[in-house]
Structure 1
Amino acid sequence: MSYQENKTDTTINICRSITSRNVIHSVKDLEGFIKLIKSSKRPEYKFIEKLRNLDRKSPEFDKIKKTKIPCAVLHFNYSQGIIRSTNTQHSTGYLYFDIDNVSESLKQELDCNEYVAAYWKSVSDTGFGLAVRVLGITLDNYLNVCKYIRGILKLPIDTNAHSIDRLTVISYDPDAVYKPESTIIDVSTINLSNTMIPSMHSKTLTESFFRNTINNRDYFSLGIHCDGKITLRYNNLDEVTENLNFQYDSNGVHDCGKDKINYHGTFLNKGIKNGNREKVLGLHAKSIMHLNPSLSKLLLHQYISRINILKLKEPLDYKEVDSIVNKAYHNQENFTPHYNKSKRFFFKDITLTPVEKSKKCLEVLNEERRQKTQEKKNMISKIFCNWDCHKDGEITPKKVIELGNGILKKTLVYNYFKDNKEDVPNCQ
């Protein structure tokens, strides 16, 4: 039976292993697939447990993964009892993605992402597999849909894990998550050839701070929203923090203290005056192109033209704008971003409003001030205890301030003398 483009069948076929694509079983939908992943009663469970204790580069690891554990293809099902591209029958309505990351922050992202229909730990226990619901996927648009949806998900997806009949080794994860109410992504009415950004020039990412994270986040999808509209990134904070392990306090706040997270960002205020218009707008264009490498030259030109009118007191003429866009677009590899911004506080609850975040920050800062004030009071108390009237003479606030080496401020010292009269050394 040939492929039927306009029909969806949620059945997921399961084959014996990577090396044997004969269908041995099927589950009726994604929920059934997740139940299978959560089951420890499967015959191959013992092999999965053994595999997770082996060196990933060892021959035994490779043998178990390829020959002992069943596999599936989540996005299509197949006829004639064998999984191969020529037997592709129907779309399942699902699309599978792979992530080589198991951080707690990523798990929170997967929980909150409205498009993620299910996710589970990989068979090697070093990453996640995930599925989304898709309407309108076909054999012809499969790869473009994968790129399009990577842009929607905004997750560090493995961009090499896409092919029509690519097998997924069926893992074991008792904590696998199934979300029946996830949002369906409808690509049936979208002209993907128009909404996807044309292939970019090759670019070498040599900046040390970048740490190759741009590749993990799909270099060619950054800056594209799910409806095909531009939603630009103005900083790379997501990349800089993606592998950090935040320790949240009881209020859900992670305080970096003095070790703030430095990152690259760009922003323009209104009313940019003559004299440095070209320089300011040119630097902004280069930063935008660096942070959103999927932008086409046309989209960049539209954006910079709009900024030219809205932000500059006297807009540049068309030729000057055109020159700025050309330089930003064609010389991306020569642009070196700088860590010009920093962030101290991070929040476990990503739905907090700015006011709620400010309130939590103030609680931390006020407690920090109280601690610093107490340390200074302890310092004054120590000076009192060590005061030698015969050697040092009569104690005064001015002398205590001098002994504080710039740490003790006048108001604090005078108030301490006033509030702790019984502790002031009596040198008379």
Structure 2
Amino acid sequence: MKIKAINGVKDILSDEIVYWQKIEKTARDIFRRFGINEIRLPILEKTELFARSIGEATDIVEKEMYTFVDKGITMRPEITASLLRAYVEHGLQVRQPIQRLFSIGPVFRHERPQKGRQRQFHQVDVEVIGAQEPQVDAELMAMGQMLLNELNLDVSLEINSLGCPECRPDFRKKLIAYLHERHDSLCDDCKRRIEKNPLRVLDCKQQGCRAMVQEAPSIVDNLCSACEEHFAAVRKQLDRLEVSYTLNRFMVRGLDYYNRTTFEFLTTDLGAQAAVAAGGRYDGLVEQLGGPKNTPGIGFAMGMERLCLLMQQQEGQQEEQGGADIFIAALGEQAIAFAAPFVHQLRKLGLQAAMDYSNRSLKAQMKQAGRLKAGFTLIIGEQELEQGRGILRNMDTQEQNEFSLQEGAAMLAEVIAPDKA
């Protein structure tokens, strides 16, 4: 019986890896420009971390976490809480008052698998901790836009403000009153959310709920003066940075820790799973996790699976793995014995070199060189060994020239890949 992968857990095969590598390479380059440093975090955390940070009334904590109940350990459902746990535990604010950090890795949620949504998926996560200025909010969104632009992805930015502990309670009362009046029109999940987490009703994907909330009170219309000023400054800075955006007054986040600025990068090419990146400000979370009081923070996460889907779907995103620099077709045992250390020397010089040890025919080895997309093939048989001269074929032009084997690997590298040698 064949053993298959668990439902919702996906193998990433080599023909897809090129997309993942491009995302990671582009992200790392952009983060370098913005002075954002990498941090690597464990997958397993104490369950309490997510219950305290995400919120016990959220769907993630109630339904979606993979938890070892007897151990009190959970496989992380998101990265922000883990990163802030590390920030607090290691006192990173002592080293640098403003920490600019990113992490890339897997996260786990027990959701119904569908296109662009898996039970094990991967995120690029960015956090700026210790900065409260609205310009930082705009800078982070501009950086996200830059990353998506450099990946040639067509996305749009939507923003909102979720207010703060000063202005949100009054808004919450207004929203609950509005929802109670329309209780019978809500789906079962939203009926349950009215008292526990009413803002999540605004984010419901059920068509009946979506239609009903269009006339609901909006938090952006109920901001206190400080939040209103902050949000106005964010929008002004986005305009200065020439970052296009749309105000979405019903945008909320599924996690309890967000306040003030929230944002999403959206696409129309993935059906219902429209968000490829989302985030916002969480000024009270560090203190909630035992860190210094009044420590502000803001961040966002990008779903790598969704980015890969977009790159495959959108025009001009035909990524291919690079081919080998050279394939050595060795014919006969003596040629194989000579070629093996020759290939090793080429690899030490930085070239991608390959050969076949099975002593197959020249035709079969040339086919293999083609499958590897080799730029050159060096043919060495018994006669070539005796003469000390192999046949070097340019696989693009099919032009052939003799190459003196006594010249060695370094000279061959100069001939076929002078930029790497």
Q: Same fold (TM over 0.5)?
A: no
Q: Which has the higher helix share?
A: 2
Larger RCO: 1 or 2 (CA < 8 Å, sep 6+): 2
What TM-score results when the alignment is normalised by the length of structure 1? 0.20
The TM-score, its normalising length taken from structure 2, stands at 0.21
Structure number, greater radius of gyration: 1
